[in-house]
């Protein structure tokens, strides 16, 4: 048991800081799901299922949903204006600083907090959502999400790190590294102009948005929006005349509602600037400076859960378990829907002999996102609690998931000990 506890202490960095006519429609085909010969579905339905099952894991990997209900409701309202009759769409803000947007099949559109903060009016936001919807409608999103690679299993009930539980997070992780082609970008842009005009927006907003993106050169943009959506100035020139021909009665601006919806986000921007600085310091190994900067960020934006979670895990690295648990507990109290906060709080409880509390948090973390780190910690917590069968189950799952990783090897070692 002592050996297991020492492993957790030595692995805290690795465990906690690994730190979304018009154009042609997507082609349809028929597929038969494995083991269900009678269950014949269209490629579109299969793609929609893929998006639905990737959506929760993708949100978690991008910081979880931004905990601002009025802002989330506003984004959904703008998105609905752009939907064609019978078309589905869910539009969410995720709590990630890197400017980015992601389209999943089924109409799941994710916009990062960092990108939304760049907008000053509703028009560019509508253009962004219209563009993402076109990626869905034209089948680009299904291709990017690997919808043709086989059916993702439905979500498992309860905390698990079994292979069927790991598949959606693994696919979501690959999705976040993928990118559209230049041809797909041009097709989505052309389709978005018509979509904007039909919804009562000025279609030229689509071109202005792309011009804005092309002007960005910061690292965050190159790693996010510009990497996923390769743009071409040539395409903009070719579409400029086309957009002018589409301009009709502009009935939507919504700037008053836009400003109200972004009020909290704008008020907290100074805190998030400091948060991003602290993350860079932490990645550079300057832990003391990172903690101090996180504290300033938490003072500037005291109710932002992801800032408190980052501060708490920085305190864990520094060995200050009391301060870590205090800030992680507040982060979870503000937002219980983010796996990372709950995993960090579970670790803090585990190190301070709060085994039952640790199990509750780590199980919650695994329900939100099945991760190897949370599964390993939960196995340790079960072992300390004397629940050997459950501990063996999770050690085995971690070892089988990646037998060559440090966690996999440690899990195999504990499993052998418990089976002797």
- What is the DSSP annotation of 18-74? -----SPPPP--EEE-TT-TT-EEEHHHHHHHHHHHHHHHHHHHTTSB-S-HHHHHH
Q: Is 325 exposed, middle or buried (0-12, 13-18, 19+ CB in 10 A)?
A: buried
Q: Which of 219-223, 243-247, 371-375 has the highest mean pLDDT?
A: 371-375
The SS3 of residue 88 is: coil
| pLDDT tens, position by position, 137-186 | 999 999 988 877 777 888 888 899 999 999 999 999 999 998 989 899 98
Give 35's contacts (C-beta < 8 A, 6+ positions apart). none
The pLDDT of residue 8 = 53
Please state which of the ranges 27-36, 169-178, 222-231, 290-299 shows the lowest mean pLDDT: 27-36
Q: Which percentage of the chain shows pLDDT scores above 70?
A: 88
Domain range list for the chain: 2-12+302-419, 33-263
Q: How many CA atoms lie within 13 A of 280 on its CB side?
A: 10
Whether 35 shows a pLDDT value over 60: the answer reads no
pLDDT at 22: 35
* pLDDT tens figures, 97-113: 999 999 999 999 999 99
Can you tell me the mean pLDDT for 387-394? 97
Distance CA 175, CA 213 (A): 21
Q: 100-109, 112-121, 202-211: which has the minimum mean pLDDT?
A: 202-211
Q: How high is the pLDDT of residue 118?
A: 94
Helices within 138-249 (DSSP H only): 140-144, 163-175, 182-198, 204-214, 219-223, 225-228, 233-246
Give the CA distances from residue 70 to residues 118, 242, 342, 383, in Å, rounded to whole numbers and listed in that order: 18, 36, 24, 43
With tokens 């983010």, the residue in question is 338
Strand partners, 109: 91, 103
CA angle 74, 76, 80 (to 5 degrees): 120
Lowest mean pLDDT among 83-92, 202-211, 354-363: 202-211
> What integer is the mean pLDDT of 40-50?
82
Burial class (CB in 10 A: 0-12, 13-18, 19+), 129: buried
> HSE of 27 in the Cβ direction (CA atoms, 13 Å)?
5
The per-residue pLDDT for 10 is 45
**Which pLDDT score is estimated for 395?**
97
> Given a cut of 50, is residue 121 above it in pLDDT?
yes
CATH architecture of 2-12+302-419: Alpha Horseshoe (1.25)
**Cβ atoms of residues 152 and 209 within 8 Å:** no
Give the model's pLDDT for residue 408. Answer: 94
pLDDT for 154: 86
Complete edge-to-edge strand list for the sheet that includes strand 108-112: 90-94, 108-112, 101-104
């Amino acid at each position: 048991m002592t050996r297991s506890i020492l492993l957790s202490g030595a692995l805290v960095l690795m465990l906690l800081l690994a730190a979304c006519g018009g154009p042609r429609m997507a082609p349809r085909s028929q597929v038969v799901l494995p083991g269900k010969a009678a269950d014949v579905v269209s490629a579109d339905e299969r793609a929609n299922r893929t998006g639905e099952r990737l959506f929760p894991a993708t949100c978690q990997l991008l910081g979880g949903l931004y905990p601002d209900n009025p802002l989330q409701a506003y984004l959904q309202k703008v998105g609905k204006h752009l939907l064609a009759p019978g078309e589905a769409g869910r539009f969410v803000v995720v709590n990630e600083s890197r400017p980015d947007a992601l389209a999943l099949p089924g109409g799941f559109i994710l916009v990062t907090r960092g990108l939304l903060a760049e907008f000053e009016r509703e028009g560019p936001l509508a253009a962004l959502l219209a563009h993402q919807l076109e990626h869905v409608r034209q089948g680009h999103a299904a291709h990017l999400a690997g919808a043709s690679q086989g059916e993702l299993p439905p979500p498992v009930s309860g905390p698990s790190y079994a292979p069927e539980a790991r598949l959606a997070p693994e696919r979501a992780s690959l999705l976040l590294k993928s990118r559209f082609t230049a041809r797909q970008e041009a097709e989505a842009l052309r389709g978005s102009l018509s979509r904007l005009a039909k919804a009562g927006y000025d279609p030229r907003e689509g071109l202005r948005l792309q011009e804005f993106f092309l002007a960005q050169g910061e690292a965050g943009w190159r790693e996010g929006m510009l990497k996923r959506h390769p743009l071409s100035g040539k395409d903009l020139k070719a579409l400029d005349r086309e957009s002018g021909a589409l301009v009709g009665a502009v009935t939507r601006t919504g700037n008053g509602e836009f400003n109200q919806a972004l009020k909290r986000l704008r008020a907290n921007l100074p805190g998030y600037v400091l948060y991003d600085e602290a993350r860079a310091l932490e990645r550079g190994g300057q832990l003391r400076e990172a903690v101090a900067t996180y504290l300033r960020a938490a003072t500037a934006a005291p109710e932002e859960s992801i800032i408190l979670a980052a501060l708490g895990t920085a305190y864990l690295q520094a060995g200050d378990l009391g301060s870590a648990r205090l800030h992680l507990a507040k982060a979870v109290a503000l937002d219980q829907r983010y796996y990372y906060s709950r995993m960090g709080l579970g670790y803090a409880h585990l190190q301070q002999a709060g085994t039952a509390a640790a199990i509750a948090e780590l199980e919650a973390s695994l329900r939100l996102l099945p991760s190897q780190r949370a599964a390993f910690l939960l196995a340790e917590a079960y072992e300390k609690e004397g629940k050997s069968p459950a501990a063996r189950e999770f050690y085995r799952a971690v070892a089988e998931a990646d037998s060559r990783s440090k966690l996999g090897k440690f899990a195999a070692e504990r499993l052998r000990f418990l089976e002797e």
